[in-house]
């Protein structure tokens, strides 16, 4: 498998997206997120998406030249229009306002409307944690998940992520979907002609399946049954309804040959501990982490805490077939 330094791979990914029709300032944060995910071992949000995005740009389902703008910044509430472009520049714009507002008011929220695939949501809460804030981010996605007892997809994988600040880097980072797995996991298994475990997906009659192609034609399943479906539902409300974006059932796909903009939404919420328990927050959080450690456990999210510029020199191994297909 080819091995390449992370900063070099990021430059290649950026160049790839620019050649596909993105402005340089749009391609940069998207390429960074893709390569960072690959470095973290999160391949379902990694290089796999470069040819997907190239296709979607050609189909005009995402505008690689869109400039996000702030529609409203009123005290502790912010709304940003992604203008049918990539989510990353819009979320970055919202984050600048969100940090300022949260530090002033203690709690603030930002919505992103007319948006696209945000990939790994952990990357969008890390800047909040690095600013000393507790950050939460969620996004709806094209419908692919059926609630328990249903056969029709009603909401997307609808991921949610949160990060908690620590000493110099986030103490805790969680990033998960409301589905048992991502749709990309099924696509990857299907391309490799590999079976999927029971519990990932069902056919269009609501019967469990181990065939990824059947699952793609049917629907994904939520994690934890109704509990996961409930998480998907609140994400749908926060990310779509609250931001004025399309419901998952109305959204065009993030991949495939259909037409139209997905028009999904993202929602970010931030808290400043200084406005609540003050110095007690750090000590109580430390006690909680110590309890985990004494039980042989670690807080989730170690892979997001490399810091010190390590991402520039880290060597990433790339799948041979994917490398050949990218044709950098």
| pLDDT one-digit tens code per residue, 91-137 | 999 999 999 999 999 999 999 999 999 999 999 999 999 999 999 99
Mean pLDDT of the chain: 95
The whole-number pLDDT of residue 14 equals 98
Residue 151 has a pLDDT of: 95
What's residue 40's pLDDT? 93
Cα 260 from Cα 263, distance rounded (Å):
9
Q: Which residue segment(s) compose the domain that 30 sits in? A: 3-61+312-326
* Under 8 Å between Cβ of 221 and 202: yes
What CATH number should be reported for the domain holding residue 17? 1.10.1530.10
CB 14 within 8 A of CB 27: yes
Domains in the chain: how many in total?
1
Phi, psi values for residue 26, rounded to 5°: -85, -45
Q: At 183, list the tokens.
A: 């749709």
Note whether residue 28 is domain-resident: yes
Between 188 and 76, name the one with better pLDDT. 76
3-state secondary structure of 185: helix
Instruction: Examine residue 33 and state whether it is found in any structural domain, yes or no.
Output: yes
The residue with tokens 């990857």 is 188
According to the model, what pLDDT value does residue 168 have? 79
Residue 70 belongs to a domain: no
The answer to whether 14 and 321 are in contact (CB under 8 A) is no
Q: Looking at residue 311, what is its pLDDT?
A: 58
Distance of CA 15 to the CA centre of its chain: 22
pLDDT digits (tens, 9 = 90+) for 142-189: 999 999 999 999 999 999 999 999 987 899 999 999 999 988 899 889
Residue in this structure with the two tokens 């819009």, named with its chain if needed: 90
Task: Report yes or no: 221 and 200 within 8 Å, Cβ to Cβ.
Answer: yes
**CA angle centred on 134, ends 131 and 136, rounded to 5°:** 115
pTM of the entire predicted model:
0.94
Task: List the one residue out of 112, 67, 74 whose CA is nearest residue 243.
Answer: 112
**In angstroms, rounded to a whole number, what is the distance separating the alpha carbons of residues 301 and 61?**
32
Whether 118 maps to a domain, the answer reads no
Q: What is the pLDDT of residue 1?
A: 84
Take residue 155 and report the two structure tokens written for it: 């909401």
Task: Please check the confidence at residue 306 and state whether its pLDDT lies above 60.
Answer: no
Query: Tokens 């509430």 map to which residue?
Result: 77
Q: Quote the crossing angle between the two packed helices 49-58 and 24-39, to the nearest 10°.
A: 150
Give the count of beta carbons closer than 10 Å to the beta carbon of residue 205: 8
What pLDDT is attached to residue 104? Answer: 98
Structure tokens at 54: 């190239």
Q: Once rounded to an integer, what is the mean pLDDT over residues 196-207?
A: 96
Read off the pLDDT of residues 9-60 as tens digits, 9 standing for 90 and up.
999 999 999 999 999 999 999 999 999 999 999 999 999 999 999 999 999 9
Is the pLDDT assigned to residue 308 strictly greater than 50? no
């Amino acid at each position: 498998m080819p091995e390449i330094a992370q900063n070099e791979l990021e430059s290649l990914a950026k160049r790839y997206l620019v050649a596909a029709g993105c402005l340089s300032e749009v391609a940069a944060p998207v390429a960074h997120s893709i390569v960072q995910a690959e470095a973290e071992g999160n391949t379902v949000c990694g290089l796999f998406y470069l040819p997907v995005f190239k296709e979607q740009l050609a189909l005009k389902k995402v505008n690689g030249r869109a400039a996000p703008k702030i529609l409203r910044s009123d005290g502790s509430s912010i709304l940003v229009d992604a203008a049918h472009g990539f989510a990353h520049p819009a979320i970055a714009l919202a984050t600048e306002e969100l940090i300022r507002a949260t530090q002033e008011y203690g709690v603030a929220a930002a919505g992103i409307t007319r948006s696209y695939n945000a990939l790994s949501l952990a990357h969008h809460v890390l800047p909040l944690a690095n600013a000393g804030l507790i950050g939460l981010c969620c996004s709806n996605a094209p419908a692919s998940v059926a609630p328990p007892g249903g056969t029709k997809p009603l909401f997307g994988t609808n991921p949610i992520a949160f990060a908690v600040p620590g000493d110099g880097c986030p103490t805790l980072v969680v990033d998960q979907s409301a589905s048992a797995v991502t749709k990309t996991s099924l696509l990857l298994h299907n391309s490799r002609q590999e079976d999927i475990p029971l519990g990932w997906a069902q056919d269009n009659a609501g019967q469990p399946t181990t065939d990824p192609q059947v699952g793609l034609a049917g629907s994904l399943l939520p994690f934890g049954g109704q509990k996961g479906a409930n998480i998907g539902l609140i994400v749908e409300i926060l990310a779509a309804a609250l931001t004025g974006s399309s419901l998952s059932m109305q959204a065009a796909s993030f991949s495939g040959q259909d037409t139209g903009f997905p028009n999904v939404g993202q929602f970010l919420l931030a808290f400043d501990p200084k406005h609540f328990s003050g110095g007690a927050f750090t000590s109580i959080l430390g006690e909680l982490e110590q309890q985990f450690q004494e039980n042989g456990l670690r807080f989730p999210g170690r892979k997001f805490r490399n810091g010190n510029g390590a991402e520039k020199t880290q060597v990433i191994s790339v799948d041979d077939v994917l490398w050949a297909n990218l044709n950098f």
